[in-house]
Structure 1
Amino acid sequence: MTNQPFSPGGRRAVRIALLQNAGFASPAAAIADTDRLVTEAAGNGAKIICTQELFLHPYFCRIQDPEFFALAEMIPGPTTRHYGELAHRLGVVIILSLFEHRAPGLAHNTAVVIDADGRIVGKYRKMHIPQDPGFEEKFYFTPGDLGFQACDTAFGRIGVIICWDQWFPESARLTALQGAGVIFCPTAIGGLASEGPELAALQREAWLNVQRGHAVANGCFYAAVNRVGKEGETHFWGSSFVCDFYGRSLAEADDKPAILYADCDWRQLEEHRRMWPFFRDRRLDAYGKITRRFDD
């Protein structure tokens, strides 16, 4: 493990692309459209391309139905093989968010990083699993057991967290401590019609703020990619974005399908962290209680 995100092959900046899209009725339709978007993004100079959470399917976690376990697939499997070939052909890194079948009755919400040569170089299983109205994920997903991590790619060292992970500062911190220059977060988040537009707007603002804070606190770039559209009672608000280490927006989307581009200059991270040396000033001796549920 190099933990050196600052010199991606001598390049000054790397263009990333986020594929914000609606859910599709079938995996075949999702793959066909995603292939088109990946090819378009690569043609526009993107070197690292990330899908939204569970991009092959509608957000089935709105309800509990054991039939949906049939959607899960092995990793490696047909989807990773397909995108390994596409990544190799286009010379790009592709981040996929998949429903992983690990064993009968055992499944994970998993992100896979495929390098520009077609190899799988990273696999992250979602650590924090929500259970809320419209987000019945504990029924489907076993919490991740691979830890927070980053991986080297042809275009720099990156990390991935997934959706509910985004609310926990520990997720981003531990990923950044692995050397990630960019933290990607595929997600599926929106408001429920029964909650009303005012609460949805507040939740969206909180969602933006907490993730921008991760970028600031960890001195890295941060890229969140959400889905769009209405599925059942849930309106997914999109709003995918990329921000820098000041929390400053480099690119942001609305609530429509889009390819979002941003140029991330890894070399800026070294200069910035010299000025704001948060990792240097961490008090490791004082953080023991962080592993307690509550300090009572």
Structure 2
Amino acid sequence: MSTVTLGLLQHACSADPAANLKKTLALAERAVKRGANLICTQELFRSQYFCQAEKHEYFGLAEPIPGPSTKAFQSFARKHGVVVVASLFEKRAAGLYHNTAVIIDADGKLLGVYRKMHIPDDPLYYEKFYFTPGDTGFRAWDTKFGRIGVLVCWDQWYPEAARLTAMQGAEILFYPTAIGWHPGEKQEHGANQHGAWETIQRSHAVANGCYVAAVNRIGVERPEGGDGIEFWGQSFVAGTSGQILAKASVDQEEILVVPLELGQVDTTRTHWPFLRDRRIDAYENLTRRFID
């Protein structure tokens, strides 16, 4: 199919996982009614962003894959004939947890999973305590509505991840996300932080001649008290030349519905043949940590 329509779900999350799932499914249904056939959730939509503290009780939020959320979205995809990308806290085995996205085709089939490869550890983003780094590698999937790749949040900052996914033919890169400001830093650093986040992802679209869809949450979350995190919303879709095609607000619940012409990927990659001109004979040092 040449023309597809994205439905990106931007919203706030409560402390009730069941309510968050119900809300996300309802938003997805509204996206379908508006014509979306590729639905993507924000990162870890079933809970508030619990990585603001290192607490063993939060492991209780995790679920197996397939599990309740996967099955709910498989049923949804089958009912509406749409593709779904959903971000989950995966319990793979006792003591083994991942930040995982499931990819579900329009017939309800679970095509596979992507486990977040880059795991941050910053103030209020203590993800290394919870998530084992992914072992799926970078992947792309053929769906009813195009060949897609999925990466997760902190992966956004790494051109290598986008490149390796695009090299497998991905026409759209999805980035489920949970990122925001430390309220005390917002005035001084907020504009630069958000600008860097948007710019790096738009650059992935440029460098790879593909579409990029970033889905972020909104609201201030303080599961551990204190200032918490003010999520900056502003979910967006970038075109194959990095241009902003659509962008959500900072603080409003929105369903970003965006039609895409997949044929533009081939046109862009032909006119700007970055993949053709790569000097793969000269890149061996990319596998090193640092060049002394």
**TM-score when normalising by structure 1:** 0.95
Tell me the equivalent position of 2:133. Answer: 143
Tell me the equivalent position of 1:237. Answer: 232
Counterpart among 271, 274, 288 of residue 275 in structure 1: 271
Question: In the alignment, residue 51 of structure 1 is paired with which amino acid?
Answer: T
Q: Indicate whether 1:94 and 2:78 are aligned.
A: no
Tell me the equivalent position of 1:6. Answer: none
The Cα RMSD (Å) is: 0.8
Q: Indicate whether 1:287 and 2:283 are aligned.
A: yes
Question: In the alignment, residue 128 of structure 1 is paired with which amino acid?
Answer: H
Q: CA deviation at 1:12?
A: 2.7
| Cα pair 1:242 1:251 within 8 Å, conserved | yes
Q: How does 1:178-189 map to 2 (within 5 A)?
A: 178-189=168-179
| Cα pair 2:241 2:268 within 8 Å, conserved | no
Q: How does 1:134-283 map to 2 (within 5 A)?
A: 134-232=124-222, 233-255=228-250, 256-283=252-279
| Distance (Å, rounded) in 2 between the aligned partners of 1:269 and 1:167 | 22
Corresponding residue SS for 1:217? helix
Q: CA deviation at 1:274?
A: 1.0
Corresponding residue SS for 1:180? coil
Residue range with higher mean Cα deviation, 16-25 or 135-144:
16-25
Q: Which runs of 5+ in 1 are unaligned?
A: 1-10
| Cα pair 2:240 2:264 within 8 Å, conserved | no
Q: How does 1:51-90 map to 2 (within 5 A)?
A: 51-90=41-80
Q: CA deviation at 1:194?
A: 2.4
Q: Deviations over 1:106-161 (max 9, x none)?
A: 10000001111001112100000000001000000000000000001111100000
Question: In the alignment, residue 126 of structure 1 is paired with which amino acid?
Answer: K
Q: CA deviation at 1:13?
A: 1.0
- Shift in CA distance, 196/271, structure 1 to aligned 2, threshold 3 Å: closer
Residue range with higher mean Cα deviation, 52-61 or 16-25:
16-25
Q: Deviations over 1:245-264 (max 9, x none)?
A: 11111110112110001111
Q: CA deviation at 1:271?
A: 1.4
**TM-score when normalising by structure 2:** 0.96
| Cα pair 1:150 1:179 within 8 Å, conserved | yes
| Cα pair 1:122 1:150 within 8 Å, conserved | no
> In percent, how many aligned pairs have the same letter?
55
**Displacement over 4 Å in runs of 4+:** none
Question: In the alignment, residue 216 of structure 2 is paired with which amino acid?
Answer: N
Residue range with higher mean Cα deviation, 76-85 or 132-141:
76-85
Q: Which runs of 5+ in 2 are unaligned?
A: 223-227
| Cα pair 1:215 1:243 within 8 Å, conserved | yes
